[in-house]
Amino acid sequence: MVKIEIIAVPGCGKCASVQGELRAVAVSLLGEGNVAWREVNVLEEIDYAVSLGVLGMPAMAVNGELKFSSLPTPDQFRALLAGLDVG
Amino acid sequence: MYTIGKVATLAGVSPDTLRYYEKERLIAPASKTAAGYRLYGEDALRRVRFIKTAQHCGFSLSDIQELLKLRQADGACCEDVRSLAIQKKLTIEHKVKALQAMSSALDELIRGCDGGKAETDDCSILTSLETSLREASR
Domain containing residue A6: 2-82
3-state secondary structure of B14: coil
Mean pLDDT of chain B: 92
Closest by Cβ to B86, choosing from A43, A51, A53: A43
Tell me the chain A residues in contact with residue B89 when contact means C-beta distances shorter than 8 Å.
46
The yes-or-no verdict on residue B109 having pLDDT over 90 is yes
Whether A87 maps to a domain, the answer reads no
The domain tally of chain A equals 1
Q: Give the separation between CA A71 and CA A19, rounded to whole angstroms.
A: 8
Tell me the chain A residues in contact with residue B86 when contact means C-beta distances shorter than 8 Å.
9, 42-43, 57
Tell me the chain B residues in contact with residue A51 when contact means C-beta distances shorter than 8 Å.
97
Tell me the chain A residues in contact with residue B97 when contact means C-beta distances shorter than 8 Å.
50-51
Whether A45 maps to a domain, the answer reads yes
Whether A30 maps to a domain, the answer reads yes
Whether A48 maps to a domain, the answer reads yes
Whether A78 maps to a domain, the answer reads yes
Q: What are phi and psi of A84, to 5 degrees?
A: -80, 145
Whole-prediction pTM = 0.77
Whether A10 maps to a domain, the answer reads yes
The yes-or-no verdict on residue A11 having pLDDT over 80 is no
The string of pLDDT tens digits covering residues A30-70 is 999 999 999 999 999 999 999 999 998 899 999 999 999 98
Question: Treating both helix axes as pointing N-terminal to C-terminal, what angle do B4-11 and B15-23 enclose, rounded to 10 degrees?
Answer: 100
Whether A41 maps to a domain, the answer reads yes
Please tell me the predicted confidence (pLDDT) of residue A12: 67
Q: What are phi and psi of A63, to 5 degrees?
A: 50, 45
Residue A36's domain is classified under what CATH number? 3.40.30.10
Angle, CA of B97, B102 and B104, to the nearest 5°: 95
Whether A19 maps to a domain, the answer reads yes
Size of interface A-B (CB pairs under 8 A): 31
Q: List all residues of chain A from 41 to 80 with a beta carbon under 8 Å from chain B.
A: 42-43, 46-47, 49-51, 53-57
Cis preceding-peptide flag for A74 (omega within 30 of 0): no
Distances in Å between the alpha carbon of B70 and those of B63, B79, B103? 10, 10, 38
The string of pLDDT tens digits covering residues B67-104 is 999 988 888 888 889 888 999 999 999 999 999 999 99
Best B66, B90, B99 residue to mutate vs chain A (most A CBs within 10 Å):
B90
| A43/chain B closest Cα distance in angstroms | 8
